[in-house]
Amino acid sequence: MKKNELVQKSYEIAKERYQTVGVDVEKALEDLQKISVSIHCWQADDVTGFENLGNLGGGGIQATGNYPGKARNIDEIRQDIEKVLTLVGGSHRLNLHAIYGDFEGKVVDRDEVEASHFTSWMEWAKEKELKLDFNSTSFGHPKSGDLTLANPNKEIRDFWIEHTKRCRAISEEMGKFQNDPCIMNLWIHDGMKDLTVNRYEYRKILEQSLDEIFATEYKNMKDCLESKLFGIGLESYTVGSHDFYLGYGAKKQKIVTLDTGHFHLTESVADKISSLLLFTPEIMLHVSRPIRWDSDHVTILNDDVTDLAKEIVRANALNRVHIGLDYFDASINRLGAYVIGICATQKAFLQGLLEPIAQLRKYEENGQYFERLALLEEAKVLPWNAVWDMFCLKNNIAIGEDYIAEVQQYEKEVTSKR
Ligand code: RNT
Ligand code: ZN
């Protein structure tokens, strides 16, 4: 039997099987189709970007590995993303960092970036039916040091305030151009390697910098703030901790970004969803995979990710959660890494959408906790994979593992020649 027929057949059976637990598979597929993933541009080139400022050093972030074929310029990144889009279903977004501007060989420092440097991205994205999201970039620059927006040194702080303000203005232009809000994420690495006696001071400075940055109100962009537990070289203290941004976000009604790699390893990020939904306007996600620490391994389908997706679906909050990816593995085929992470995220949401939630809630209402636990267990092994294959078939993309060969082919023809 041909693969397509096999998929069709399994799907029909799965559909009936799901009916027995009151789940409408077609509705789940429709909903999955509408979920877009904000694809991070930085997996394509190990967070290098296109600035022409020379070898920056500066720290704050690090990709490890030297797998051949990384994108070396704007055309190659676009080519790679276009290829990725042929291998995944659904319509998506592209998440750009400020260092990925189209600087045309010119030296443009971070306090000089402007919307014109992103015009070609906006036009390209429109052509590819992608919406853009954006990020300020405070790492990898001589002025990055240990402290940027929280730096007591006014000159350095002002430099980063100027950069971040400009990034908001760029995001506004992107949002206007694409007629859909551009989500701008702010992550800074600010912290201390060793014990500090000024925790309060730096946080106070950061609060003031943010107030200054957010003084201008925009209509076509949305701000989000990303915390972190610690960074390499900054192990003792992170100014922008989760408590800090949670407080700031709740007070100022800003979006808080949850990067799944930025918490204690036993902490449940899924559990944060419902609280954030109550006190902050929306949520931005960086779906990643911590290994021992925030190692930014490729997102895979694991309990952390499915729990997260299920919580969002259970809270009926798909319209309030922006789903982005964040990892940069330089040790394997980078394009394949994209496909694995995007599909894993979609699969997690599909599992959430296929949950027999009505029955589970009935059990809970009746205090039938054995029944609830039993059905939760059984739901894990219902034939969601047949529905996933159907999603691939409907989207006219490689089914299941078939993308492996396509990635290999692209490597042979394109990336291995770089
Ligand atoms: C770093 C943060 C941040 C970055 C990107 C490149 O720990 O997760 O989101 O990964 O901005
Ligand atoms: Zn992140």
* Mutation choice for ligand 1 from 97, 183, 269, 326, CB with most ligand atoms inside 8 A: 326
pLDDT in tens, 292-318: 988 899 999 999 999 999 999 999 999
Catalytic residue among 222, 242, 262, 322: 262
Distance CA 254, CA 249 (A): 4
Ligand 1: residue whose CA is nearest its atom 2: 187
If you average pLDDT over residues 153-178, what whole number do you get?
Answer: 98
Question: Confidence band (pLDDT; 50, 70, 90) for 52?
Answer: confident
As beta bridge partners, residue 238 has 191
Question: Confidence band (pLDDT; 50, 70, 90) for 57?
Answer: low
Residue 258 predicted with pLDDT over 80: yes
Residue 58 predicted with pLDDT over 90: no
The H or E element that residue 13 is part of is helix 3-19
**pLDDT in the model for residue 295:** 86
Backbone angles phi, psi at 245, to 5 degrees: -75, -30
Residue 53 predicted with pLDDT over 90: no
**pLDDT in the model for residue 1:** 82
The lowest-confidence range among 34-43, 52-61, 138-147, 240-249 is 52-61
CATH pick for 36-353 out of 3.40.309.10, 3.20.20.150, 3.40.1350.10, 3.20.20.70:
3.20.20.150
Instruction: Give the start-to-end residue ranges of the domains of the chain.
Output: 1-23+357-418, 36-353
**pLDDT in the model for residue 269:** 98
pLDDT in tens, 25-47: 999 999 999 999 999 999 999 99
Residue 274 predicted with pLDDT over 70: yes
pLDDT in tens, 173-216: 999 999 999 999 999 999 999 999 999 999 999 999 999 999 99
Question: Confidence band (pLDDT; 50, 70, 90) for 55?
Answer: low
Is 286 catalytic? The answer is yes
For residue 28, give the 3-state DSSP assignment. helix
Residue 59 predicted with pLDDT over 80: no
**pLDDT in the model for residue 111:** 98
Question: With a threshold of 0.85, does the pTM exceed it?
Answer: yes
Instruction: Locate 81 and state its tokens.
Output: 């993303």
Q: Are 153 and 205 in contact (CB under 8 A)?
A: no
Instruction: Write down the H helix ranges in 179-213.
Output: 199-213
Q: How many CB atoms lie within 10 A of CB 246?
A: 18
Residue 54 predicted with pLDDT over 70: no
**pLDDT in the model for residue 62:** 81
Is 133 catalytic? The answer is no
If you average pLDDT over residues 50-78, what whole number do you get?
Answer: 86
Measured from the Cα of 257, ligand 1's closest atom is 9
